[in-house]
Amino acid sequence: MIDTFDDKRHGRVLWRGDGVACCLRFAVLVVGLVLAGCAARPGPEVLNPVPTSLPGAKMVTVYVATTAEREIPDSNVFASGRARSLNYAEFKISIPPRHQPGNIEWPIGDPDPAVSFATVQQSILDKQTFDRRVTSGASSSSRAKVGVFVHGFNTNFQEAVYRLAQMAADADVDGVPILFAWPSAAKAAGYVADKEAVTYSRDRLAELLTTLSRKTSVERISLIGHSMGAWLTVEALRQLRLARNDAVINRLNVILAAPDIDVDVFRSQMEVIGPLSPPMTVLVSRDDIALRISAKIAGERPRLGILDVDDPRVQEAALKANLQIVDISSLKASDGFNHDRFVGLATLHSRLAQTEAGGAGHDMRRAGAFIFNTVGTTLSAPFSFIGGAIADE
């Protein structure tokens, strides 16, 4: 399965040239990533509820299941400590009236619902309460769907909560957003620590998916893994398949965004998982700087998230493995590393849904290698249309 993905040409293309010049380019990229990681980042205080909310503001409720330990007992403060079992929480987030799609308006000083994202309510949940509220939310949803988001490398808890709130607000879909948060070290130098943290978390993600799949009120589960979170996502699928939990996997719509996965490792994982229906969607960008750095750290091992969809071998491999590989390089990135383009798909959801409703998206679930065209919100010929992958249409 997907034998053509292991061609070393994909690794060499990422880094043209040898010797000093190549080392200098890599050094510049690493320094840039470290400097970006040193910029001021939101602390746990941004999740403290504001005393007053803004009447009429858009509200998003985010449910959380996390393998992170509570930093303070009886609080929703999470960092890099690892919990023995899942912890649960709920956050109601206010979206500012002048919110720009794709962005998170972080508060400067105290959160102000008029101009920034703000938490208006948060709750500590036990498993029973979490299950009950998710079930209630899915029951009141016209589509009876939930979306599980697994964040990526170098992401702290509050960043993950607000990112999911932003995507849910921009997509404006009727469903239940759930964050699966793992205990990231939340620093550029913490790559190895983060890789161990996602390995630690894979059984718990499988546990969450199993719980959700057993709810009669939930018809479909969208599972979105970003970056290193994509590796965690695929590992959880592998665990489920090995445990013969096929019924769980059959309820999933899986999207890997900028997956930081060694191509050979992914091939091995998919040999266990097998083809999915609908096809697993893999969102890639050939100019993803973060994944280039990851490939370099891994000894020039090619990463799944920078595959070249123009390569006939990639197209053939996608068809054989029943994968939908989509190049989203046309979408705008906001992180300086071309690693977060996937968030823009939520913004385009309404246009994608309209196009699908008009009949243009009849083959949107077809496997293959595609290029996303933001002008027409289609996949460029000879490719098919991808309708609302992030928003689970």
Does residue 147 fall inside a structural domain? yes
Q: What is the pLDDT of residues 120-140, one digit of tens each?
A: 999 999 999 999 999 998 887
* Mean pLDDT of the chain, nearest integer: 85
* In-domain check, residue 329: no
Given a contact cutoff of 8 angstroms between Cβ atoms, the answer to whether 258 and 333 are in contact is no
Confidence of residue 365 (pLDDT cuts 50, 70, 90): low
Choice between 273 and 344, residue whose per-residue pLDDT is larger: 273
User: Does the pLDDT of residue 358 top 70, yes or no?
Assistant: no
Specify if 352 maps to a domain.
no
The residue among 281, 206, 283 whose CA lies nearest residue 245 is 206
Q: Whole-angstrom Cα distance, residue 343 to residue 340?
A: 6
The whole-number pLDDT of residue 39 equals 58
CB atoms within 10 A of CB 220: 17
Q: Assign 4 a pLDDT band (cuts: 50, 70, 90).
A: low
* Sequential DSSP letters for 66-112: EEEEESSTTS--EEEEEEEEEEEEEEEEEEPTTPPTT-----SSS--
386 part of a folded domain: no
Kindly state the tokens that stand for 379: 């996949």
Question: What is the residue whose two structure tokens read 């793992």?
Answer: 182
Note down the domain range covering 112. Answer: 3-319
Chain-centroid distance, C-alpha 261: 13
| Rounded Cα distance, 46 and 240, in Å | 36
Higher pLDDT, residue 347 or 240: 240
Using CA atoms, how far apart are residues 269 and 181, in angstroms rounded to an integer? 22
Residue 381 CA: distances (Å) to CA of 195, 342, 371, 372:
37, 21, 8, 10
Residue 18's pLDDT band (cuts 50, 70, 90):
very low
pLDDT for residue 34 is more than 90: no
The verdict on residue 308 lying in a domain is yes
Instruction: Considering only residues 144 and 145, tell me which one the structure prediction assigns the higher pLDDT.
Output: 145
Please say whether the beta carbons of 95 and 169 come within 8 A: yes
Q: Has residue 356 got a pLDDT over 80?
A: no
Structural domain count of the chain? 1
Token reading at 286: 């050939």
Residue 391 above 70 pLDDT?
no
Question: In 3-state terms, what secondary structure has residue 267?
Answer: helix
Residue 24 pLDDT greater than 50, yes or no:
no
H or E, element range at 119 = strand 118-125
Q: Is residue 234 part of a domain?
A: yes
Tens of pLDDT, residues 51-100 = 888 888 999 999 999 999 999 999 999 999 999 999 999 999 999 999 99
Q: What sign does the dihedral 195-69-206-248 (CA atoms) show?
A: negative
Q: 144 lies in a domain?
A: yes
Please enumerate in sequence order all residues whose Cβ is within 8 A of that of 18, keeping only pairs 6 or more positions apart, or say none: none
Strand partners, 220: 145
| Residue 22: pLDDT over 50 | no
Q: Of 298, 375, 343, 367, which is closest to residue 163 (Cα–Cα)?
A: 343
Q: 6: helix, coil or strand?
A: helix
The residue among 345 and 212 whose pLDDT is bigger is 212
pTM: 0.87
In a domain, 114, yes or no: yes
Alpha-carbon distances of 71 from 83, 181, 189, 343, rounded to whole Å: 10, 14, 21, 29
Please, which residues have CB within 8 angstroms of residue 55's CB and are 6 or more apart in sequence? none
- Element housing 228 (H / E): helix 228-242
